Amino acid sequence: MPTSSVQPPLEPQSVCHPITSSAIFMVATIAPGSEDGVRAWCADIAGLVRSVGKRVPAGNLTCVCGFGSQAWDRLFGAPRPAALHPFREFGVEGRMAVSTPGDILLHIRAEQMDLCFELATQLMTALGDSVKVVDEVQGFRYFDMRSIIGFVDGTENPVGRKAVGFTIIGDEDPGFEGGSYVLVQKYLHNMTAWNSLTVEAQEKVIGRTKLSDIELGEDAKPSNAHSALTVITDENGEEVKILRDNMPFGRPGAGEFGTYFIGYARSPQPLELMLENMFVGRPAGNYDRLLDFSTAVTGGLFFVPSAYLLEALAERTGGL
């Protein structure tokens, strides 16, 4: 894994943008025969973000657009990102990181939900019948960056130049510099079962204290704690980080409480290794105890082209 000092030569999309108060996550599939319309739409995204964002300059509106492996082949053909492939499933029956349909991912962020809502509306209007939205989640910031289960989320995120180094592709994939990979999953939580645990038991599941967000010592943290299994190191023993921008969501009236997991990295490898550790275990069978209370109901892997390439893709003549 290259070090965080590598700076990509092309401007990325807003991958390393600060976490905001609101977000909309949209996953869509492309209708047969609609490839030309979707390609042309790639050139319109940046302009729509500017037009909507200009109405509330302090709203920090951004949008990241990514494409799945099969969609890339249909839309753009060769060359293709070196590490792009379909989402890989991990786990066993009853505890599975599932793969679900998805050609396009939109990650829309702002300090106000009205900005996210307006941009999502404009982007979908521009696409028209070219796509079908198969999953849409409106996320919100929950108190002091906590997930629905009550623990602070994203504490170990890299920041600044380190965030860029861990998430943005450099010269290891010529032609796709400034790009990134993003993995998404929608988790639903059994809050009745979770809330039946004592705070101490919850802390052992997560590996951190609930109130102060301090990591448990090695003598107190179980080897199958969530924070233990999601630490990844390279061949030199250096930690490889991902950038999480998870958001809580829910419908209390329907008893739905969830977390939308979204992780960015310059390669799918650390993302997939984390999932393998969580769902299979390290070693096998020593799986993430959080999965006794949380179920992944969606899963997708996408490539995020640089801002320049995203607009340039509108000029591609066709896929494979």
- Residue numbers annotated as active site: 153
- Is the backbone peptide bond immediately before 57 cis, with ω within 30 degrees of 0? no
For residue 57, what are the contacts with CB-CB under 8 A and spacing of at least 6? none
Longest dimension (CA), the chain: 59
State how far the Cα of 212 lies from the Cα of 217, in Å rounded to an integer: 14
Q: Enumerate the H helices of 147-283 as residue ranges.
A: 160-167, 191-195, 199-206, 226-229, 268-279
Q: What element of type H or E holds 35?
A: helix 35-42
Residue 210, CA distances (Å) to 147, 161, 188, 204, 215 in order: 11, 29, 20, 10, 10
Residue 23, CA distances (Å) to 115, 131, 137, 187, 253 in order: 9, 20, 8, 16, 21
DSSP 241: -
Dihedral of alpha carbons 30, 33, 36, 41, sign: negative
- In the numeric block, the tokens 């790639």 are attached to 42
State how far the Cα of 96 lies from the Cα of 94, in Å rounded to an integer: 6
- Contact between residue 30 and residue 130 where contact means Cβ atoms under 8 Å apart: yes
